[in-house]
Amino acid sequence: MPKWWAQCGSFWAKMADRRKLIGGMLLLTVLGGLLMLPPLVFVFNQPIAHLGIPQIVFYLFAVWLLLIVGTALLTHALPPDATNAESGERDR
């Protein structure tokens, strides 16, 4: 098998991984939006307190924190875009 063929296969594997991660980011965004909708948030609007903090505040903070952590993990795993890397090399 020629050497360039192996590099081409590696390129397509990276593109597939990139698409999966971008799909994961889209799913995270949609799920985060759905979890912040008032009908679901009002389910946690009960007169219950955890460590003196109302349950709704706990819920909103947990969703917010999980969205930030999920975004950070997905962004960290995302390989650099090949088109941006090539254009950056041309600008030098």
- Would you state the pLDDT for residue 65? 96
Convert the pLDDT of each residue in 19-54 to its tens digit.
888 888 999 999 999 999 999 999 989 999 989 999
What is the amino acid identity at position 64? W
d(CA 24, CA 86): 25
Predicted local confidence at residue 5, as pLDDT: 46
Residue spans per domain, the chain: 3-80
Question: 28 is written with which tokens?
Answer: 């995270």
- CA 31-21-58 angle, to 5 degrees, is 35
Confidence at residue 21, expressed as pLDDT on a 0 to 100 scale: 85
pLDDT of residue 31: 95
> Which has the higher per-residue pLDDT, 27 or 16?
27
